[in-house]
Amino acid sequence: MLTVRPLHPVFAAEVTGLDLRQAPSPELAREIEGIMDRYAVAVLPAQSIDDAHQVRFSAMYGDLEVRPLQRLKKEVPDPGDRIGHREVFDVSNLDDDGNPLKTEDDRRIYSLANRLWHTDSSFRQVSATYSMLSARVIPPVGADTEFADMRAAYDALPQAMKMRLHGLVAEHSIWHSRSKHGGYVPNEEERAARPPAHHPLVRTHAGSGRKTLYIASHASHILGMEVEEGRALLAELMAFATQDRFVYRHQWRLGDLVIWDNRCTMHRATPFEDQRYRRDMRRTTVREKVAVPA
């Protein structure tokens, strides 16, 4: 039997009473889905899982994303690689030998943009529903993750702003966010493999039926607006949506699996001494079934 303990006044909950080393039943998977519809972020503590367990559980909710073409990492893992599943994304600060990445390593520079508020895969036209992040090795201090509830933020907007946002569409690009923090420069092959995507600024969250903002650092500009005007509006919305009253800060414990719904939340990593401490975090991401019309 699952036990649910709210972690924040408007969203996020801890869920206990399950062991993901055992294959969850479809009924249990649907029960967790109902919890996600209500809370948008679910913390499952003390899950001593491996990559295969994580992939099996994640796949109960739909097709999983696989590693994109990127010059920094192999598209297809070799036997003996630290992470051997294409569906598992490396969100660590570790090199192939399990040591902290050097300051100047392109892989570290690329990952710095994860410290910006973002929504996984909003830069894809077929974006993401759930992401699941598993804590395999954690530093002794720091390295928390913050989450923002975009449904509660939309609800709190003045009516005039809600009317202003109606029908607006933003262009999202991963290369926009990478240029904002860290300065990673993609090559032409990478740019072609991950072109921009267009999404409405306000969507209806399918699980709860509530309206939600859909913005974050991948959003580069608003279609039909002067670029600077659109960016000013996006910055205003980001500042509003990340007030403390909408934000839950998760302090990681070894074995935590955190699930969040990308359709109605943003999240960001917080800095830590990444040249000193190892942090091994592994993410799986569920694709939406179809693109949401822009």
pLDDT-based confidence at residue 124 (cuts at 50, 70, 90):
very high
Q: In whole angstroms, give the CA distance from residue 107 to residue 169.
A: 31
Q: Would you state the pLDDT for residue 180?
A: 80
Is residue 294 one of the residues assigned to a domain? no
Mean of pLDDT values over 131-160:
97
- Cα distances from 92 to residues 12, 193, 237, in angstroms, run 23, 23, 29
Overall residue count recorded for the chain in this entry? 294
Q: Give the helix ranges, DSSP H, for the chain.
A: 26-39, 51-58, 106-111, 150-156, 159-165, 174-180, 188-193, 227-241
User: Which is it for the CA torsion 215, 288, 196, 91, positive or negative?
Assistant: positive
Following CA atoms 54, 55, 59, 60 in sequence, which dihedral angle do they give, to the nearest 10 degrees?
-40
Least confident piece of the model among 35-44, 155-164, 193-202: 193-202
Q: Please, what is the average pLDDT of the chain?
A: 93
pTM beyond cutoff 0.85: yes
CATH code, domain with 168: 3.60.130.10
Q: Would you state the pLDDT for residue 178?
A: 86
Is residue 174 one of the residues assigned to a domain? yes
Is residue 293 one of the residues assigned to a domain? no
Is residue 247 one of the residues assigned to a domain? yes
Q: Would you state the pLDDT for residue 152?
A: 98
pLDDT, tens only, 55-101: 999 999 999 999 865 445 555 555 457 898 999 999 999 998 999 99
Is residue 181 one of the residues assigned to a domain? yes
Q: Would you state the pLDDT for residue 260?
A: 98
The domain of 181 spans 3-287
User: Which residues share a beta bridge with 89?
Assistant: 283
pLDDT-based confidence at residue 193 (cuts at 50, 70, 90):
confident
Contact between 217 and 113 under an 8 Å Cβ cutoff? The reply is yes
Q: Which of 144, 143, 135 is nearest to 49 (CA)?
A: 135
Q: In whole angstroms, give the CA distance from residue 185 to residue 36.
A: 36
How many separate domains does the chain show? Answer: 1
Is residue 221 one of the residues assigned to a domain? yes
Residue 40 C-alpha from the chain's centroid: 12
Q: In whole angstroms, give the CA distance from residue 76 to residue 79.
A: 10
The alpha-carbon radius of gyration of the chain (Å, integer) is 18
Is residue 292 one of the residues assigned to a domain? no
- Cα distances from 74 to residues 33, 84, 182, 194, 265, in angstroms, run 33, 11, 21, 16, 30
Q: In whole angstroms, give the CA distance from residue 238 to residue 34.
A: 27
Sheet-wide strand order for 257-261: 3-6, 13-16, 41-44, 257-261, 128-137, 280-287, 89-90
